[in-house]
């Protein structure tokens, strides 16, 4: 039986063998830790909540990206998921929740209503949460596909890693018009046209 002996730090440095190590900057290490431990506050107000459940469920499962733990107090969360329409009457609540979150904090606008208000262009609704609080990632869709939500989450993680606080929008994975084989319904002007 050979003798088991862990190499000393001096040996590792001199020979480049053994357990190994990596060098990085502290900010990068911190950002890496932050992007994989996003504690979310689900501010779920409307029908997008059904899709949110789908993303949270085992089929799509955003916990694979280290972002699953819901905290129902803003003081323990650092990612605010705004899922659904925000009405004017609710706006002070949303703003207060956002203000109660500790820095660093990020905001995800889930769906068209939270992003721009959608077709709720009326007296009651806030046309996008960015009128009240800054949003980091906008996910379009009514509701968005779970894949789009995962894209948005990965986009946010990229932004956290690179320290980019400019808002980002999730792009579609392909142009449906350019992919008729995907089974997208083609609009026709007339039956005999």
Partner 1 sequence: MAKALLQLIQLEFPDAVLETHSQHGDDTVVVDPGAWKAVARFCKDQLAMEMLADLTCVDWPHREPRFDVVAHLHSLSKGQRLRLKARVGDAEGEHAAIDSLTELWASANWAEREAWDMFGVVFTDHPDLRRILTYPEFVGHALRKDYPADRIQPLVPYREVENIEKLPPFDHHEGMSFGRQTHLASRGDD
Residues that bind partner 1 (CB under 8 A): 88-89, 91-92, 95, 116-119, 121-124, 126-127, 130-134
Please state the closest distance from residue 85 (CB atom) to partner 1, in A. Answer: 13
38/116 with CB nearer partner 1: 116
Query: Parallel, antiparallel, or unpaired for β 137-139 and 106-110?
Result: parallel
CB of residue 14 vs partner 1: minimum separation in angstroms?
55
- Give the nearer residue to partner 1 in terms of CB position, either 140 or 146: 140
How many C-beta neighbours within 10 Å does residue 116 have?
18
**What minimum distance in Å lies between the beta carbon of 115 and partner 1?**
10
Closest distance of CB 118 from partner 1, Å? 7
SS3 call for 159: helix
Compare residues 27 and 121 and give the one whose CB is closer to partner 1. 121
- Min. distance of Cβ 164 from partner 1 in angstroms? 17
Q: Is 146 helix (H, G, I), strand (E, B) or coil?
A: helix
State which residue, 126 or 150, has the beta carbon closest to partner 1: 126
- Given the complex with partner 1, which of 22 and 177 has the nearer CB atom? 177
């Amino acid at each position: 039986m050979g003798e088991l002996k862990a190499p000393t730090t001096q040996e590792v440095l001199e020979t480049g063998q053994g357990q190994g190590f990596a060098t990085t900057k502290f900010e990068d290490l911190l950002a890496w830790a932050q992007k994989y431990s996003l504690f979310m506050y689900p501010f779920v107000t409307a029908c997008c909540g059904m899709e949110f459940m789908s993303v949270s469920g085992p089929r799509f499962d955003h916990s694979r990206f280290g972002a699953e733990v819901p905290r129902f107090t803003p003081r323990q969360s650092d990612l605010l998921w705004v899922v659904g329409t925000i009405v004017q009457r609710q706006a002070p609540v949303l703003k207060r929740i956002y203000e109660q979150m500790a820095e660093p904090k990020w905001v995800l606008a889930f769906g068209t209503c939270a992003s721009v208000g959608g077709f709720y262009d009326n007296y009651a609704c806030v046309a996008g949460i960015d009128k009240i609080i800054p949003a980091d990632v906008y996910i379009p869709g009514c509701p968005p596909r779970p894949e789009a939500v995962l894209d948005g989450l990965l986009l946010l993680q990229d932004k956290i890693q690179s320290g980019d606080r400019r808002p980002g929008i999730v792009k579609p994975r392909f142009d449906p018009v350019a992919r008729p084989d995907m089974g997208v319904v083609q609009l026709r002007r007339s039956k005999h046209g």
